[in-house]
Chains A and B, each alone.
Chain A
Amino acid sequence: MTANGGGPVILVENLCLELTSGEPVVQDVSFAVNAGEILGLVGESGSGKTTTALALLGYTRPGVSLRGGSVEVGGEAIMGVGARAVRSLRGRVVSYVPQDPGGALNPSLRVGEAIMDVLRAHRSESASQDSVHTALERVELAGDPRFGRRYPHQLSGGQQQRVTIAMACVCGPPVAVLDEPTTGLDVLTQDRILTELTRLRSEEGMAMVYVSHDLAVVARMADRIVVMYAGRVVEHGPVDEVIGRPRHPYTRALVGAIPDVRRPRALQGIPGVAVGVGEWPPGCAFAPRCGFSDDRCTADVPPLEEAVPGHAVRCVRWNELELSEAGPQGARAAMPAGDGTPLLEVDGLEVEYRTGRTRNTAVRGVSFAIEAGRCVALVGESGSGKTTIGRCVAGLHAPTAGRILFDGHELAGSARARALHQRRRIQIVFQNPFESLNPRHRVGASIERPLRVLRRLSRADAEREVGMLLERVRLPARVANRFPVELSGGERQRVAIARALAAQPDLLICDEVTSALDVSVQAAVLELLAELQRDLRLSMLFITHNLGVVACISDSVLVMDRGSLCEAGAVGDVLSTPSDDYTRRLLGAAPSLPDRAVG
């Protein structure tokens, strides 16, 4: 795999970064990457992985500064040297592929011009239309000779990301830093981008640092993995070792939190929340969330010890913990069987969006039913119409044609026109936890509202019930007095679930509820939803693009492609023996852990 043995092209030694207030952000991080090698940098939000990755470009965010250590890229120091030196290295020696290509590309610059800019900065002699064409060819965008004349807004998300990759590669730098390059893209696009990157690595011998919170993607791409927690490296080793025999309790927990389409099983979230900068406890930062911690863990920061050659771990107890404890055990608990009566029936649903005179059909002739107490997953790429169906059921969008029956009665198109008990019994939880709670209302007030409006409780009763609901979603009662800004994404999503539960619903619509969350938080939220479904006999319509999540939570699955239902069936059947071609492609593209990861 390595293209040559000429020593590391990235050398990070004892890197320490701190805030202006003196709080450490990254502590004592060291690693090396050889030419043609891909290093995966993994961790939850706040672990310092992005800060470390940006340091490879000689960049620190405002308020962050270098305290110690060194970063060498392609044999040259890039941290702590002058701005001019850094500028000449970026793009030529090390390049960057950002997380959000839509925000990273200049909207007023044609993509060909954007690529040309990079060339002019470093290789003015080769700055020509031909080199731009070659660059686009390398990311398979040269099919249309006029592609370079397009603006970023005329491209899809996947195409935009290819353009940023083309920009990163055009000067042939030996090193590329990729910051969650496929987060926000759907599985099929992600699959194409990952294939593209693998090809670039093998053809050009580029070394890559791949930053992600998704271990399944990293497992597919990387040769070696560095796991970070609270600004430190907690585990570092070859991908098979780290994923297959994780030594650090945190890595084990991360592996256990990944929903896997090939192996449906009960997920285990990591208890507690990731510690923020400045809140790091003394000793091992993971100790408060760790099931194996003892006195030694809180005394001192454990050293990074080599467990087997090339596989280092920062845990005082790595030697005592059984390897077999790696990975979660057992299949998913069986869901209670439905009693056969459909709670929700969707019959011949058609939805059109009208913009001006043009009509776009978002949903065409979709019919399905959800039995009481069952969880049905609605899967598809972005733009397949799955969210529109959820919105129709919730009464947020009126269907153009077709009927929606709830408990045998037809539902009106808009929520206002529905009976109070119908509105109460159908609740929805939205995708983006940062937008689903009113930032001006305290958490308690947000949860109280459905109690007052839909269940007509008195203020005193409602206040009492808020505490119980928060407990139900495993949040402390004092959260009721907080504003949403003071909560993390996972906590906000729990509040949004509590708000939905406040109505005592029979049907819960979950619209991509975990797609904005870290894997460990996602696992905890899914665990909660599964438990609620079991205890409260909730029916769920679970909308997602993640097949791994589907395998973990749902009983049956509906696959959507461009507005129509292309496959439906029990989750086991559809995922193991898909009959439709589109489903097969989705399944093939879904990232999965290597087999040895389990058990």
Chain B
Amino acid sequence: MRSLFRFLRIRSGAVGLAIVLLVVAVAFFGRYIAPHDPNAPVGVPLAGPSSTAHLGTDFLGRDVLSRLLYGGRSVIGLALAATVLAYALGLAIGLIAGYSRSKIDPILMRTIDVMLAFPPLLFLLVLITGAGTGVGILIIGVAAIQAPSISRIVRTATLEVSVRGYVEAAVARGERAFAVVVREVLPNILAPVLVDAGLRFTYSILIIASVNYLGLGLQPPASDWALMISENREYISLNIWAVLAPAAMIALLTIGVNLMGDAIARSLGRSYVPRTTRSVPA
């Protein structure tokens, strides 16, 4: 675990962590300092910032600041759950396909190819139409969209690592495949696999936001950053903050997560550089 926190020594990593912590704090604890009920009208719809509503009001006259402080949890929670599930699926499929060296590999990979051929949003819409709207379906759907490409990266990394001496030594010891994969393969493929975790988390936010925006995910009157953008986008000329504030929060979160992701990948990557190719001249 110690090595996981080494990324803090990289400045952009520390900055990214600070941004993420800030946005997460707003999302999870903001509700306790919200000045108003997020669902109660506090004034004229689409009024500009004032002393009662610091960021103005939305199209129903609700306080934008309060809705902003309430609306982060669902975005972050859903995107995080979907991304974690996507990695769980992708890692399992990729490791099995890459390590098995049998007919399972082509079968899994061709299935994955078919999955990749679906346009992601269409896939999600069909799923929601068939299975109904709901938080669970949304998470599963987004995870199913992300898992195939993750599993391809995992498989390639696994193929490369599983011919290394330490993996073969474990195989020659007769260790069970599960033990070999978990002890020898997994720790060594995490860096390349996690490089784009930040990007995938961002993508999850965007997909969930799009689905919410289309009115197929979370339903009004729930306060949710993505929903706030979609509800107020037509009135952007009347109170720009109703769109800009939630959009800025999503943007901040995205930037923070990506800065952190890159820094983690770089700090993990360091222990990969073999001694022969380090920058010290031979």
Q: Which residue of B lies closest to A25 (CB)?
A: B281
Q: Which of A277-312 contact B (CB under 8 A)?
A: 277
- Looking at chain A's contact residues, the main secondary structure is loop
* B282 adjacent to A51 (CB under 8 Å): yes
Given contacts A435-B164, A439-B271, contact A415 B281 (CB under 8 A): no
Which of A61, A454, A483 is close to B271, meaning CB atoms less than 8 Å apart?
A483
* A434 adjacent to B275 (CB under 8 Å): yes
Which chain A residues border B176 with CB–CB below 8 Å? Answer: 416
Q: Measured between alpha carbons, how far is A449 from B182 in the docked complex, in Å? A: 14
Q: Measured between alpha carbons, how far is A483 from B273 in the docked complex, in Å? A: 13
Instruction: Say how far B126's CB is from chain A's closest CB, in angstroms.
Output: 37
Q: Which of B249-281 contact A (CB under 8 A)?
A: 271-276, 279-281
A and B contact pairs by CB, cutoff 8 A, 24 listed = A25-B281, A46-B282, A51-B281, A395-B171, A396-B171, A423-B174, A430-B165, A431-B165, A432-B165, A434-B274, A435-B164, A435-B165, A436-B169, A437-B165, A437-B166, A440-B187, A440-B188, A440-B271, A449-B170, A450-B173, A454-B173, A485-B274, A485-B275, A489-B276
Other A-B contacts than A51-B282, A416-B174, 12 sampled, CB-CB below 8 A, are: A46-B282, A62-B279, A415-B172, A415-B174, A423-B173, A426-B172, A428-B172, A434-B274, A436-B164, A440-B187, A441-B183, A499-B169
Interface size of A as a range: 35 or more
Instruction: Say how far B205's CB is from chain A's closest CB, in angstroms.
Output: 31
Which chain A residues border B168 with CB–CB below 8 Å? Answer: 394, 396, 428, 430
Confirm or deny: B113 has a beta carbon within 8 angstroms of a beta carbon on chain A.
no
Which of A61, A437, A441, A453 is close to B173, meaning CB atoms less than 8 Å apart?
A453
Confirm or deny: B105 has a beta carbon within 8 angstroms of a beta carbon on chain A.
no
Best-surrounded residue of B164, B166, B272, B274 (most CB of chain A within 10 A)? B166
Which chain A residues border B183 with CB–CB below 8 Å? Answer: 438, 441, 449
- Leading 10 A-B pairs by shortest Cβ distance: A436-B165, A430-B165, A440-B187, A438-B166, A435-B164, A423-B174, A434-B274, A415-B174, A394-B172, A435-B165
Confirm or deny: A19 has a beta carbon within 8 angstroms of a beta carbon on chain B.
yes
Confirm or deny: A169 has a beta carbon within 8 angstroms of a beta carbon on chain B.
no
Confirm or deny: A63 has a beta carbon within 8 angstroms of a beta carbon on chain B.
yes
* A449 adjacent to B173 (CB under 8 Å): yes
* B169 adjacent to A428 (CB under 8 Å): yes
* A488 adjacent to B281 (CB under 8 Å): no
Q: Which residue of A lies closest to B179 (CB)?
A: A453
Q: Measured between alpha carbons, how far is A598 from B273 in the docked complex, in Å? A: 41
Best-surrounded residue of B165, B171, B176 (most CB of chain A within 10 A)? B165
Q: Which of A472-487 contact B (CB under 8 A)?
A: 483, 485, 487
Chain A, residues 483-521, CB within 8 Å of chain B (1/0): the string is: 101011100000010010001000000000000000000
Instruction: Say how far B166's CB is from chain A's closest CB, in angstroms.
Output: 4
Q: Which residue of B lies closest to A430 (CB)?
A: B165
Instruction: Say how far B109's CB is from chain A's closest CB, in angstroms.
Output: 16
Q: Measured between alpha carbons, how far is A430 from B275 in the docked complex, in Å? A: 18
* A45 adjacent to B282 (CB under 8 Å): yes
Q: Measured between alpha carbons, how far is A416 from B170 in the docked complex, in Å? A: 10
